[in-house]
Amino acid sequence: MSIPTIDTVHDWNAIRADFPLLSREVHGKPLIYLDSANTGQKPASVIDTVDDFYRHHNANVSRAVHALGTEATEAYEASRTKLAGFLKAHRDELVLCSGTTFALNLVAYSWALPRLKPGDAILLSRMEHHANIVPWQLVAERTGAKIKVAEIREDGSLDIDALYAAMTPEVKILGLAHVSNVLGTVNPVREICRETRRRGIVSVIDGSQAAPHRALDIPSLGCDFYAITGHKMCGPTGTGALWARREHIAAMPPFLGGGEMIKEVRFEGTIFNDGPHRFEAGTPNIAGHIGLGAAVDYLTAIGMEAVEAREAELLAHATEALTRIDGLRILGTAPEKAAVISFLVEGAHAHDLATLLDLEGVAVRSGHHCAHPLMQFFDVAATCRASFAFYNTHDEIERFAVALTKVRRLLG
């Protein structure tokens, strides 16, 4: 089965079987893949779509009138349309790019850099991924702007009162994760963006951990920019998009110069393309984005409401299972959480835990998760992170708990 049908939408074992990699073994043990916050696995329909493009349709986009060029262009642009529908957005509001990191840099350099001035401020939350910190630091250095930090509570939730108090008149931009990649905290983006609009602050939302796991209606959130990454939502690596309000797209200068983002080039000057295409210089990841379109088809067929409900069940089960283990501490217990659990085990380093779990066939992430400021808040160098997707099973959670208990004894 390549794409679930309405009759099998809740047959999670059948859906799991669509993912070839999940059937392999690691170190002689059945693989338990709990690193979907890092990258999602790919269903056969996505793999087959990419393979089919290279076997039967490979050509560059928008550069040829021959049949292959037309087929490639139509398939590539169809993926833009599919992704726009998935996000409840218009296709002319979507810049296709390599992922959230590129998208946030695009906003920082094309929108913010020409507008910020000394004394302005960029407000970021403590839980941001480095991709939503470093570009702003670089732009702040070049413009004389400063970075302000909105703190979190001990449970990993955003301190909303402190956030609003930090929205002083010099704040021009808010950078915020929709869902924390470390804690799973789901931030109330719609409420926050209502406040930023009231205060004239431009909101830039990192949606990397939201798009793969919940239904989105980006325009209704009220933000100015929203970035997503394709490889976390069952698509190929090197894919993603930036959603931007049309007035921002029209007002932003191109980020990169080259082919495809132009209408006409003369040595006296260049006329740039319209809409999102003005930011898509050079040959894009054509096969990857066509594969992302197939991933959107796949997720849409399951239904994102069903995905979110399934992952909420898995999170509840995993949280209960891990609390049985002596000496285990979970970081991030906010009331609204996605299916991510960062944890520490007393007396054990996160890397040692992850290494020994790998020998049991369990793949978790260890380290700072590209969130150094968050690690500093909790006064830890690293954590282990188990992140779940709809293709995981309750049996895997029990086997994970058994493996973790065994590793705990070995290290204890």
What pLDDT is recorded for position 253?
92
CATH code, domain with 386:
3.90.1150.10
What pLDDT is recorded for position 270?
87
Which listed residue (97, 193, 234, 370) is catalytic? Answer: 370
What pLDDT is recorded for position 2?
46
Same-domain check for residues 178 and 267: yes
**Residue in this structure with the two tokens 């916050």, named with its chain if needed:** 37
Same-domain check for residues 267 and 321: no
Residue 6 has pLDDT above 70, yes or no: no
Mark which of 300, 332, 359 sits at the end of a domain: 300
- Quickly state the pLDDT bin for 107 (edges 50, 70, 90): very high
What pLDDT is recorded for position 153?
97
Alpha-carbon 176 to chain mean position: 12
**For 142-163, what is the mean pLDDT?**
97
**For 170-175, what is the mean pLDDT?**
98
Same-domain check for residues 227 and 110: yes
Radius of gyration of the chain (CA): 22
What pLDDT is recorded for position 163?
98
pLDDT, one tens digit per residue, over 280-331 is: 999 999 999 999 999 999 999 999 999 999 999 999 999 999 999 999 999 9
What strands lie across the sheet with 121-125, from one edge to the other?
A: 94-97, 240-244, 225-229, 202-206, 171-177, 121-125, 146-150
- Quickly state the pLDDT bin for 257 (edges 50, 70, 90): confident
What pLDDT is recorded for position 1?
35
Same-domain check for residues 196 and 165: yes
Residue 9 has pLDDT above 60, yes or no: no
- Which residues does 303 contact at the CB level (< 8 Å), separation at least 6? 9
- Quickly state the pLDDT bin for 24 (edges 50, 70, 90): very high
How far is 112 from 95, CA to CA, in rounded Å?
Answer: 17
Q: How many CB atoms lie within 10 A of CB 153?
A: 14
What pLDDT is recorded for position 258?
84
Task: Verify whether residue 234 is a known catalytic residue.
Answer: no
Residue 235 has pLDDT above 80, yes or no: yes
Share of the chain above pLDDT 90, in %: 90
Total number of domains constituting the chain: 2
Residue 356 has pLDDT above 80, yes or no: yes
Q: Structural domain of residue 83, as residue ranges?
A: 49-300
Mark which of 251, 285, 300 sits at the end of a domain: 300
